[in-house]
Amino acid sequence: MSPIYEKIAKELLATAEISVNGFNPWDIQVHNNDFYRRVITEGELGMGESYMERWWDAEKVDETVFRILRTRLDEKIRKKFSIAVQLSILGILNLQSRNRAFIIGRKHYDLGNDFFHLMLDKRMNYSCGYWKDTDQLDEAQEKKLDLVCRKLYLKPGMRILDIGCGWGAFGKYASENYHVKVVGVTVSKEQVELGTKLCEGLPVEFHLLDYRDIQGCFDRIVSIGMIEHVGYRNYLDYFRVASRCLKEDGLFLLQTIGNNKSDKMVDLWTHKYIFPNGMLPSINYLGKATENLFVIEDLHNFANDYDRTLMAWYHNFENNREHIKMRYPDYFYRMWKYYLLSSAGAFRARNIQLWQIVLSRHGILNGYKSIR
């Protein structure tokens, strides 16, 4: 271990008011001195992997990451050549092409329905809740679902397309409370299997299908937390499909995590361990892809609510840690702990956003009435 890496790391961390082996809950406790070289040369990949390998710890990882991102320490690290090359290659490739569409389903969403049951709310929403006037995860998720239904102005008998339907939380809620028919599309076999059971007896269909193969005409379209898997090279195709499938007077609600920058690079740690081929859209990317296809009627940013949602998932995850550790190895436990807490820290730092965007084909006559 070269002392220069330790010196640089400690100086950078100090600018974020983070001490090494200090007493604040966000201070980093270093267990392997090679940590310094790894994080300085490998950035977010080295930070995440060294945590998984127990090279460092912090009482509150979310607060550590919050301070790192809020002071933009991640932008001050110059990654080693091999990492830079890897990022450049990934930025060039179409990681979300048709023949790669089902990778995310197999590697992430098919981890096991039992695992997600332990972490999520009772309806199994795997996206941001809406925490207005509540401090309970189940209520926050129902408020989100109802917010989506109201923003879409659902009416009985409407036919709804849900792109990236998950386990059918939206379809079940909308069909039960707004008496609509829902067609859900996902790339996860596990989600189709469980979603079909959860929605038994309701007018909710599930299809194992790439979004590019969707056919039909719908009164409304909803897509919650799916476009993060589409990639900037495919945004135009994605919105062309939505435009083709939406009735002339229909509405399309898109909920997505958003990037502050139009970045073609992926987060290497997240790409490798959590969401393979994932990429966060920027407003610029979305604006260009929707041009001549949609009118943006409403944009609602409630990024702070994702911080709260992730922390609620983390508390469920921790409360069930013994069950998780019985089924999965230690590195998996630490990997998911780091994912949940570092993501919460990123939203807290406003490094990433959460947008609900309502779109129409040609603009709503007399204007769209925004709902919060």
Per-residue pLDDT of the chain (372 residues; tens, 9 = 90+): 568 889 989 999 999 999 999 999 999 999 999 999 999 888 899 999 999 999 999 999 999 999 999 999 877 666 554 545 454 554 555 656 666 656 665 667 767 788 999 999 999 999 999 999 999 999 999 999 999 999 999 999 999 999 999 999 999 999 999 999 999 999 999 999 999 999 999 999 999 999 999 999 999 999 999 999 999 999 999 999 999 999 999 999 999 999 999 987 778 899 889 988 789 999 999 999 999 999 999 999 999 999 999 999 999 999 999 999 889 999 999 999 999 999 999 999 999 999 999 999 999 999 999 999
Q: What is the pLDDT of residue 80?
A: 52
User: How would you label 231-249 residue by residue, b for 16+ Cβ within 10 Å and e otherwise?
Assistant: bbebbebbbebbbebbeee
Q: What is the pLDDT of residue 342?
A: 98
Q: What is the pLDDT of residue 192?
A: 95
Neighbouring CB atoms inside 10 A of 1's CB total 12
Contact assessment for residue 144 and residue 129, using Cβ atoms and an 8 Å cutoff? yes
State phi, psi for 282 to the nearest 5 degrees.
-105, 165
Residues 6 or more apart from 307 whose CB is under 8 A from it? Answer: 344, 347, 348
Q: What is the pLDDT of residue 87?
A: 47
Q: What is the pLDDT of residue 104?
A: 65
Task: Judge if pTM exceeds 0.85.
Answer: yes
Domains of the chain: 3-79 (no CATH), 98-360 (3.40.50.150)
Please name which of 164, 134, 166, 162 lies closest in space to residue 148, comparing C-alpha atoms: 162
The number of angstroms, rounded, from the C-alpha of 280 to the middle of its chain's C-alpha atoms is 8
Q: In which residue are the tokens 């898109």 written?
A: 254
Q: What is the pLDDT of residue 81?
A: 45
- Joined together, the tokens standing for residue 212 give 């590019």
Q: What is the pLDDT of residue 94?
A: 62
Q: What is the pLDDT of residue 64?
A: 98
* CB-neighbour burial class of residue 46 (10 A; exposed 0-12, middle 13-18, buried 19+): buried
- Helix 137-151 with 169-178: angle, nearest 10 deg: 60
Please provide the DSSP assignment of 244-306 as one string. Answer: HHEEEEEEEEEEEEEESS------HHHHHHTSTT--PPPHHHHHHHHTTT-EEEEEEE-HHHH
Please name which of 31, 33, 28, 29 lies closest in space to residue 2, comparing C-alpha atoms: 33
